[in-house]
Structure 1
């Protein structure tokens, strides 16, 4: 449900699974196959994004039998922006639906300012949403915001 490519979506799904299982005392480890099975994604893609997340310092891993991955930091310290920015270019300019040479070389297109507003809202959401939102969450539970028990609104697809 994100406006990003499949690799970024896979990374969010994988790291959110690690956040669901986060326990700073037990340090629960999950391997790429366990995460892939839980999220119903291809294991090779999950393994690839976990490697990138590990190189970025967002997750730690241990090799071999009994090895696996876990969050490198408290989920409150990792935002969705931290994850998405590894896989998607966060350009300052919004691509114009009329082509790359329309906005900026003449008058703005009819959607220019609306698209800028949507982009700013999305970046603000990603920067403000930490992985803490996933801690202890189980499938089938209603989604709630981190400050109350009210159900979150469904965001429109962009």
Structure 2
């Protein structure tokens, strides 16, 4: 949940990159994130250098870097500390079968593939896709016939 909410918040900021700061309440509302949780999460993202936060009436949050320079792997590492599907890949000394496990090679390949996808996916990509999906949903909604009035 932490990574999901963190990415949602960062994508929201990426969609407004170059604009005025976005307030926590606005991000929470648009992304369906509980505001108290988001406040703590934004503090973490600020400390880790993903966002700049300003207090006050004109305050809010801005991305600290260009959206194309922030990838999902970096976000996941910061918020979760691990993108590995199994603990034995990050802590091989904890597994008595680490040196003789046929599964390990497969899971290592899975982890490598996941890492490649996460590294190749930037906030810029996600913000563009999010905007396109919102536009498509708005167009579909506009094409829906109006509900007929209910007779009284």
Equivalent in the alignment of 1:113: 105
| d(CA) in 2 for partners of 1:69, 1:119 | 32
| d(CA) in 1 for partners of 2:41, 2:74 | 13
Of 116-125 and 126-135, more deviation after overlay is shown by 126-135
1:96-130: CA deviation from partner (whole Å, max 9, x where unpaired): 5xxx53431x630x532221111111111111211
Equivalent in the alignment of 2:125: 133
Relative distance call for 1:92 and 1:46 in structure 2 (3 A) is: closer
Structure 2-normalised TM-score?
0.74
| d(CA) in 1 for partners of 2:10, 2:83 | 23
Structure 1 segments of 4+ aligned residues over 6 angstroms from their partners: none
Across the two proteins, how many residue pairs are aligned to each other?
Answer: 129
Pairwise CA RMSD: 2.3
| d(CA) in 2 for partners of 1:17, 1:39 | 8
Tell me whether 1:72 sits opposite 2:67 in the alignment.
no
Gaps of 5+ in 1: 1-5, 143-158
Over alpha carbons, which structure has the higher Rg?
2
Q: In the alignment, is the contact (CA less than 8 A) between 1:22 and 1:135 conserved in 2?
A: no
1:114-152: CA deviation from partner (whole Å, max 9, x where unpaired): 21111111111111211111345424356xxxxxxxxxx
Equivalent in the alignment of 2:15: 20
Q: In the alignment, is the contact (CA less than 8 A) between 1:29 and 1:67 conserved in 2?
A: yes
Tell me whether 1:50 sits opposite 2:45 in the alignment.
no
| d(CA) in 2 for partners of 1:30, 1:57 | 17
Q: What does 1:88-103 correspond to in 2, within 5 Å?
A: 88-90=80-82, 94-95=86-87, 100-103=94-97
- Between Structure 1 and Structure 2, the one with more helix by share is 2
Q: In the alignment, is the contact (CA less than 8 A) between 1:60 and 1:71 conserved in 2?
A: yes
- Structure 1 residue 92 displacement after superposition: 7.5
Structure 1-normalised TM-score?
0.71
